[in-house]
Chain A
Amino acid sequence: MLKVTNLECVRGENSLFKDINFTLEAGELLQVNGPNGSGKTSLLRILCGLAKPAYGEIQWCGNSIRSLDEEYHSVITYLGHLNGVKDNLTAIENLSISCALAGNEIDENKAYGALQYMGLGGREVLPVKVLSQGQRRRVTLARLLVCSTVLWILDEPLVALDSTAVDLVQRLLEQHLDQGGMVVMTTHQDIKVTAVLTKRLQLV
């Protein structure tokens, strides 16, 4: 499972955080808290392998994620600050293409189902540029419904969402954790997700 030892991140001359240690087992949720600029996004980017830590190691099932590389990518889903949707494509195209590029081709019915579940029924074939911020976020989050990855790394997934969508995401996370998934997330909002174990990591 996920094991992080002595992680340190340096930006310029400053050390953002150091000596971060935690493990994450099946069904566990890790909530990363901290003020703006404390390195939450940097931590998540390091966890998914987009950035290199200044020091320390991240292991997935006993192997360093550096050595696993593409194998590790097939077990994680990362949703960052940026929505990762193309303005000129429709919601349905965005969803099927991003899933296909993540190595998980889905058929059209499944994609329609996921968008409907996220409350985007009737807006599937609109180009994403005409959707609101919250609706774009929903298109992004719809990927969680159809992916089959174990570890979800979510950077502020609730930004721009209304309360119904927040409930949807909470249920989605609970379901995922229930099935033995793992979640690492940052959020400034209060979110109640029942997990086997909820760990908190405070960055200063």
Chain B
Amino acid sequence: MFLWVIKRDLLLAMRQRADVLTTLFFFVIVVSLFPLGVGPEINMLRAMAPGVVWVAALLASMLSLERMFFSDYLDGTLEQMLLSPQPLSLLVLGKALAHWLVTGVPLALIAPILGVQFDLPIDALLVLTASLLLGTPVLSLIGAIGAALTLGLRGGGVLVSLLVLPLYIPVLIFGAGAVEAISVGLGASAHLSLLGAFLLLSLVFAPWAAAAALRISLE
């Protein structure tokens, strides 16, 4: 059942590849704009790289949030999911996981290539990827709550960013912090452990909260 949701959402993403690619290109373009705008001052680029990549990842992940439930809401498949004999939170977890697989994973994989533009050393690039791999599922899970709460509201897209972006701040701080820490030789394990803790916490609470929000939105 849980696997069916993931399979279904991945299949749909495959059929609408444009949606997935827009998110990815958005990320690539936003990150690439900074070196062009700031100029070739290598020390400055290196210092701002983690923050820039992470902020772009937040925005890209948020950009695709609305899709998580909205099209299912419009064509009635969401109300069928609510009537499923399986716990709704499990279903939401499946959808958030599928969202992460089609947005978070590609972002994390392409980030090291973009990091080269900022002249990041190899170990920093590795930590950047690791922090994105740990952090982006948290973004999808927290985003699921926001997407569920704003379902069917007019201007839901803007509202979801106002709701969700403040909640992304801890992930941003420790994600970007991990890369900064490794750059100055402190070691990133503390930051990465904290990101892992956020992930565990959101795995437990976010599906449950998003399920409750969906029930309210569909009533």
The answer on a CB contact under 8 Å between B12 and A73 is: no
Inside 8 A of B16's CB, which chain A residues have their CB?
88
Q: Which among A50, A76, A78, A93 is the interface contact of B218 at CB below 8 angstroms?
A: A50
* CB-CB contacts below 8 Å: A82-124 with B: 82-89, 93, 97-98, 100-103
The answer on a CB contact under 8 Å between B15 and A84 is: no
The answer on a CB contact under 8 Å between B81 and A87 is: no
Q: Mark A65-78, 1 if CB is under 8 A from B, else 0.
A: 00000110110101
The answer on a CB contact under 8 Å between A83 and B76 is: yes
Q: How many A-B residue pairs have CB under 8 A?
A: 78
The answer on a CB contact under 8 Å between B219 and A84 is: no
The answer on a CB contact under 8 Å between B80 and A86 is: no
Among A84, A98, A127, chain B packs the most CB atoms within 10 A around the CB of: A84
The answer on a CB contact under 8 Å between B79 and A80 is: yes
Q: Which among A50, A74, A89 is the interface contact of B79 at CB below 8 angstroms?
A: A50
Q: Which among A50, A71, A73, A86 is the interface contact of B77 at CB below 8 angstroms?
A: A86
* CB-CB contacts below 8 Å: A125-152 with B: 127
Q: How large is the interface on A (under 10, 10 to 19, 20 to 34, 35 or more residues)?
A: 20 to 34
In the complex, the chain B residue whose C-beta lies closest to that of A103 is: B85
The answer on a CB contact under 8 Å between B87 and A70 is: yes
A48 to B15 alpha-carbon distance, docked (Å)? 32
Inside 8 A of B80's CB, which chain A residues have their CB?
78, 84, 98, 101-102
Q: Which among A51, A88, A101, A102 is the interface contact of B219 at CB below 8 angstroms?
A: A51
Inside 8 A of A83's CB, which chain B residues have their CB?
75-76
Inside 8 A of B11's CB, which chain A residues have their CB?
89, 93
Interface residue ranges, A against B (CB under 8 Å)? 48-52, 70-71, 73-74, 76, 78, 80-89, 93, 97-98, 100-103, 127
Interface residue ranges, B against A (CB under 8 Å)? 1, 4-5, 7-8, 11-12, 15-16, 71, 74-77, 79-87, 91, 218-219
